[in-house]
Structure 1
Amino acid sequence: MKLESPKTTINKSAQETFDFLADVKNFEKLMPENISKFEVLDTDKFLFALKGMPEIVLKKKEAVAPNKVVLGAAGGKLDFSLTANITEPAPAQSEVELIFEGEFNAMMGMMIKGPIKKFIETLVENMPAQI
């Protein structure tokens, strides 16, 4: 399964946007309102839970300044990645698109597609105000 968020424009350079997204503690500022738990576990790992959903641990797997930050599942039953692709269409302006990729059986895919799509859209919608 591959889900892509809409691109969002941020009035910061690609490097500033990258620096924000590469620091996992900043993801707390981007979370949806229905977050029930957020905890930084390590410099590159955090745990979060949305109401009615299981806890998910994400670990920073790759960071390529200033264009890409990849988070991946850190343990658990699901294997997936969340990639932030950052471009700089103009000086002091960046665009971010989130891409969620994972391998799930058909039943699981149907159950999580809607909530995951809404989740990544909320993350990008919250970026311009937070970065």
Structure 2
Amino acid sequence: MSHQDTYLVKLTDAIARQLGQLADRLSQLPPPEAAQIMARVVDPEDGVLGEVIHLFVTGSRVAKDQAEQGVLPPEVWLAVGRAANELHDIALALDEHHDTLKHAGSPPAAASWPPAPAPLVVRRRR
């Protein structure tokens, strides 16, 4: 393993650890602060999700090249590409909520009433 490969493995491990730490700390934040952190996570331009999607798109291109060379089976390329597409779809669905998350920590307007909790309803498919 080259020095560059060792560095990239360590970088990958460090990013995974930091994401775990972020998740652990997020669960301990007050709701307005947690919402603002989540807004940064789902930010389509500079957020964690956008960068993960970029990583999967790049990985899909690499996997395609390796599949064409016979290094990887084509199923691997297809699976990585499918994951990139699904993550992109998730980002699009979350994008409509980005501004709401971003402003959740802002103080409400003086004339507005405090928000009321909304009951969450789970619907079962039969």
Which of the two has greater helix per residue?
A: 2
Bigger radius of gyration among the two:
2
Give the TM interval when normalised to the shorter protein.
Answer: under 0.3
Which of the two has greater strand per residue?
A: 1
TM-score normalised by the chain length of structure 2: 0.27
TM-score normalised by the chain length of structure 1: 0.26
